[in-house]
Amino acid sequence: MHTASEHRIEGDTDMADIAVIGANGTIGSRIVDEALRRGHTVTAVVRDPAKVERRDAGLSTAVGDVRDAASVAEAAKGKDVLVSAVGGGDGPGHVDLIEPAARTLVEALRTLGDRAPRLIMVGGAGSLATADGSLVWDAPGLPEWLLQIMHAHGDALEFLRGVQDVRWTSLSPAASIAPGERTGSYRTAGDTLVTDEAGESRISAEDYAVALIDEVERPARIGERFTVGY
C-alpha cells in the first residue's frame, strides 16, 4: 500500500508559460486562477474565446479544440506546460472526449518534437485502489453515467502509460471533489485513494489546483499518475 505524504509548498519558483484546455470548466477555471495567483502566464485554449470571462494581465486566449491535433499543437507551441482539464467533472457529456482527447493531445505534442511542452492531465479517481484492495469504481450503487466517466478516465490513463516519448503526468482527484476552500494543504499518493482519519476521500477543486500547479513548479511525477486528497 502506498503511504500518502504531507505537502505544503511555498516559496519563489521560476514562472511558467502554461496552456490550459478546458479553462472554463469547474476544475480548469480553478487551475487558471491558481496559476495566475502565483504569477504564471496562462493561455486559455478554448473553442470560443468570447466565453472566457476571466480578465488578468497574465491571461490570454487561443482557439483550440481537443479533438483537433493541429489546433492543439498550435496552441501548445512555445509553452512550458499543457494542462488538459477535459472531462474533469463537468458531467457525462464528456465521456466520449476523455480517452480520445488523451490520444489527440499526445499526437499534437509529438508533432512539436523536442520543443513539446510537458502534458499534465486531469484524471479520474475510479481506478484508484481503496484500503481493502478493490478499486473505487467497484463500489456498489454507483450510477451508470458515473461509471462511464470513471472507465473513460481509466482508458485514458492506460493509454498514457504506454507513451514513452511525451512527458506526461496524470493527476487523479479524491473520490469527492467540489468547489470549496483553498487551504493550500493536501496529501498525495500514487495509485491508492487518499482518505482522512474518518475514512473519507475528498479535496476541494481549489486545493486540487494547488497540487497541480505545485507539480508544474516542482516536477516530481513525470510519466506517472498520482492522486491528491486531505
Measured between its terminal Cα atoms, the distance across the chain in Å is: 17
SS3 state of residue 11: coil
Q: Report the predicted TM-score, pTM, of the whole model to 2 decimal places.
A: 0.91
- Residue 13 CA to residue 11 CA, distance in Å, equals 7
Which domains does the chain show, CATH number per domain?
A: 5-229 (3.40.50.720)
Comparing CA positions, the residue from 72, 26, 28, 30 lying closest to residue 47 is: 72
Query: Grid cell 474518518 — which residue?
Result: 198
Q: Which residues contact 81 (CB under 8 A, 6 or more apart)?
A: 16, 17, 18, 19, 117, 118, 119, 120, 216
Per-residue pLDDT of the chain (230 residues; tens, 9 = 90+): 334 445 544 445 689 999 999 998 899 999 999 999 999 999 999 888 888 888 889 999 999 989 899 999 999 999 999 999 987 555 555 677 899 999 999 999 999 999 999 999 999 999 999 999 999 999 999 999 889 999 999 999 999 999 999 999 999 999 999 999 999 999 999 999 999 999 999 999 999 999 999 999 999 999 999 999 99
Q: Which residues contact 203 (CB under 8 A, 6 or more apart)?
A: 173, 174, 176, 177, 186, 194, 211, 228, 229, 230
* Cβ atoms within 10 Å, residue 181: 8
Grid coordinates belonging to 89: 467533472
